[in-house]
Amino acid sequence: MSDPAPGPAVDRLLDLDRAHVWHPYGPMPGRSDPYVVDAAEGVRLRLADGRELVDGMSSWWAAVHGYRHPDLDAAVRAQMSRMSHVMFGGLTHAPAIELATTLVELTPQGLEHVFLCDSGSVGVEVAVKMALQAQRARGFPQRRKLGTWRGGYHGDTFHPMSVCDPVGGMHAMWAGVLPAQIFAGLPPVEFRADYAAELADMVARHAHELAAVIVEPVVQGAGGMRFHHPDYLRVLREVTAEHGVLLIFDEIATGFGRTGRLFAAGHAGVSPDVLCLGKALTGGYLSLAATLCTAPVARAISSGEGGGLAHGPTFMGNPLACAVANASLGLLRSGGWAEQVARIEGGLRTGLAPLRDAAGVADVRVLGAIGVVQMDHDVDMPAATAAAVDAGVWLRPFRNLIYTMPPYVTGDGDLARITAGIAAAVAAT
Ligand SMILES: *Cc1c(COP(=O)(O)O)cnc(C)c1O
């Protein structure tokens, strides 16, 4: 990588950023300056001031193969030389067809039809719409609520927000705006019969008004980075099937190997009726999501009023995004991810274990390529981030959590740097 940009250029960019650019979940202008990134390659981000950081975040869990991967770059270039986009109404193309076919092959059994859309939140909206339309078509128009458990995160548009954790998802701020949904308590790490009974009871008691239950299987991501026992998914599968309630798995965060299985549903060996994918779908290159459903769900929707699914975004099935998703899935299919994730799991366990005894640490947990340090207080985000940056690592803590979801291609040396960066962030907050 070449010389750093001169200081004044960075200052000018930051002035303009402060003046005009909104950043996630922030006020305007932001509370602290973001870091200007010039380029990224492999697992490294190069800042405009010349510093290089090992990326512990995979750009919000998406860049599983790292940056500027030759296969992914080539796939985008090749597709661009044919067409970057065409509308999907009345037209189709090989990249989308190949992607849908591959997703059906790779995902849990029974999921046969694929709806492509722009982002994870929209993919969840589509899943909800599928569930509501299928229930209406089956003669249950009053079944239009969603059941879930606390601690979840499903996106930032309105229906997804309504099934986010009521506290973390700021439901108080949206009282009267968000549809009221039905919540069970936080899913425990261990299997407990009383919690299984609580889930079964929620579905049984509310079956008349529930269109679907939606959960993140095995790992709850942005809602708190919590893990739960996979057998709860079996309980949900049985009880929803028994009561004619659909089961939606949101694997936008867990899909494509992150938890050590290709899909987290694999930990429980169950298939949902509807599956949401996003984030790592394109290897972190472009925004794309996919919502898959079973043949019975598709049949019900297609036989109902309107005669189809009432959704069709402008950039549906974008060929560039599909092409790079196909290349990313090609890399995953060649199989190295499982060893990479297992190796990272081992490195995270070793590297984070000493933090169990550090001041202010409430819990340390690792699953697959996910390492979490939970503090007993909310993290001072600018201070923790700066400490990690000084240690040469990019982290983005939130609430009381300092965590990493590194790219699968992270080597042992860089992984040790990430765990050292986490330790520095812990010490700084
Ligand atoms: C990130 C995420 C979403 C939302 O995806 P966006 O692409 O940010 O809209 C939904 N569900 C889960 C589990 C996620 O992690």
Is the minimum distance from the CB of 154 to ligand 1 under 6 angstroms?
yes
Is the minimum distance from the CB of 108 to ligand 1 under 6 angstroms?
no
In contact, 321 and 287? CB cutoff 8 Å: yes
**Residue from 256, 224, 261 nearest 368 by CA:** 261
How many whole angstroms from 81 Cα to the centroid of ligand 1? 30
In contact, 272 and 129? CB cutoff 8 Å: no
Instruction: Considering the candidates 153, 195, 285, 403, report the single residue annotated as catalytic.
Output: 153
Which of 121, 225, 277 to mutate for ligand 1's pocket (most ligand atoms within 8 Å of CB)? 121
Work out the pLDDT band at 407, boundaries 50, 70, 90: very high
**pLDDT mean over 358-376:** 98
**pLDDT mean over 222-251:** 98
**Is 35 noted as a catalytic residue in this protein?**
no
Q: How far apart are the first and last CA of the chain?
A: 32
In contact, 151 and 186? CB cutoff 8 Å: yes
Is the minimum distance from the CB of 119 to ligand 1 under 6 angstroms?
yes
Work out the pLDDT band at 175, boundaries 50, 70, 90: confident
Separation CA 233–CA 212 (nearest Å): 14
Is the minimum distance from the CB of 120 to ligand 1 under 6 angstroms?
yes
Is the minimum distance from the CB of 278 to ligand 1 under 6 angstroms?
yes
Q: Distance of CA 153 to CAs 167, 271, 291, Å?
A: 11, 20, 17
Closest-CA residue, ligand 1 atom 5, reads: 120
Residue 213 pLDDT: 99
Reported as a single tens digit per residue, the pLDDT across 90-127 is 999 999 999 999 999 999 999 999 999 999 999 999 99
Is the minimum distance from the CB of 153 to ligand 1 under 6 angstroms?
yes
Residue 170 has pLDDT above 90, yes or no: no
In contact, 157 and 121? CB cutoff 8 Å: yes
**Is 129 noted as a catalytic residue in this protein?**
no
How many whole angstroms from 158 Cα to the centroid of ligand 1? 13
How many whole angstroms from 253 Cα to the centroid of ligand 1? 7
Q: Distance of CA 384 to CAs 60, 110, 152, 229, 356, Å?
A: 17, 44, 24, 31, 17
Residue 357 has pLDDT above 90, yes or no: yes
How many whole angstroms from 335 Cα to the centroid of ligand 1? 25
The pTM of the whole model exceeds 0.85: yes
Which of 118, 149, 153 to mutate for ligand 1's pocket (most ligand atoms within 8 Å of CB)? 153
Secondary structure (3-state) at 371: strand
**Is 153 noted as a catalytic residue in this protein?**
yes
How many whole angstroms from 248 Cα to the centroid of ligand 1? 14
**pLDDT mean over 332-356:** 97
In contact, 276 and 127? CB cutoff 8 Å: yes
Reported as a single tens digit per residue, the pLDDT across 65-96 is 999 999 999 999 999 999 999 999 999 999 99
Closest-CA residue, ligand 1 atom 7, reads: 120
Reported as a single tens digit per residue, the pLDDT across 297-325 is 999 999 998 889 999 999 999 999 999 99
Work out the pLDDT band at 7, boundaries 50, 70, 90: confident
Q: Following DSSP, what letter does each residue of 196-255 receive, concatenated?
A: HHHHHHHHHHHTTTEEEEEE-SSEE-TTT-EE--THHHHHHHHHHHHHT-EEEEE-TTTT
- List the structure tokens of 118: 């722009």
Q: 255-293 b/e with 16+ CB inside 10 Å = b?
A: bbbbbbbbbbbbbbebbbbbbbbbbbbbbbbbbbbbbbb
Tracing tokens 């009383």 back to the chain, one arrives at: 194
Separation CA 282–CA 323 (nearest Å): 8
Tracing tokens 């997703």 back to the chain, one arrives at: 103
Strand extents, DSSP E, 285-421: 289-294, 361-367, 370-375, 393-394, 401-404
**Is 25 noted as a catalytic residue in this protein?**
yes
Residue 153 has pLDDT above 90, yes or no: yes
Tracing tokens 């997804």 back to the chain, one arrives at: 160
Is the minimum distance from the CB of 55 to ligand 1 under 6 angstroms?
no
Residue 226 has pLDDT above 60, yes or no: yes
